Amino acid sequence: MIKIFQYECKRLLWNKFFLGLLLTLLFYGWQVLNSVTILGVSHTAPFSPWSFGDFLSRMLPLLWIGMLFFLTFFTSGKARRIAVLTAATPICPRAYALVRCAAALVGAALLALACIAEAAVFYGRYFHWYAWGELALPALVSLLPPLLFALGSGWQLGKIRPWLLYPWMLVPFVLMALPLPKALGLWNGSFFTAHPLALGTLDPAFTLPGAVIAIQCLLLAAGVAMLIFHPGKDLS
């Protein structure tokens, strides 16, 4: 399985699509950092967890698209023809499916790390600020639940109809245009701009209301559940 995982990672990462998406993310991220993050959000410092979280929320739609595009490598016509051959081998279909999902998760994680590293370079270059450990919590809570949910839901949709992955890529853009409740504010970034103002202090410490934590935990659990729910079923 290790060799299969290495092969799937190489297939996803060593191609023009990954390089193009990476360059797009870095270019867009640098524009956001220089035009929005540098000013700080809601009277907080540019390197505060609030401003950093706002930056990540603006990058999330592209990361979501990247995750789903990785899954299209496994739902294409060529992949489905290969699946007929792999089904005749002694490889466990469920384990093979989980290995593919793990490879897609690695690809999305590398894109997310590239965005985080870009922000770290920005903070060091312009503000000589290097307390990166303070940004770990907003990074985890902003990216891990939605990306795992994208992986699990995308895998299930791809098993139903491969083309469903493409309209599913638009979900973050739709949510950004909607007036979501506070508990869902991490999905459109409104949490990072509204909540620090509600705390009533200048540059407040980063905190998460219980409702926000509950929603993110539900998303995380739903993503994991959809991955282990018959992941070995043939894509059709």
Distance of CA 9 to the CA centre of its chain: 17
Q: Give the model's pLDDT for residue 77.
A: 59
Closest C-alpha among 1, 12, 27, 136 to residue 72 = 12
Q: Give the model's pLDDT for residue 85.
A: 46
Give the residue carrying structure tokens 């016509």: 77
Query: Residue ranges of the domains in the chain?
Result: 2-228
List, for the chain, all residue ranges whose pLDDT scores fall below the cut of 50. 84-85, 88, 231-236
What are the residues whose beta carbons fall under 8 Å from the beta carbon of 140, sequence distance 6 or more? Answer: none
Q: Give the model's pLDDT for residue 171.
A: 93
Q: Give the model's pLDDT for residue 76.
A: 64
Q: Give the model's pLDDT for residue 160.
A: 87
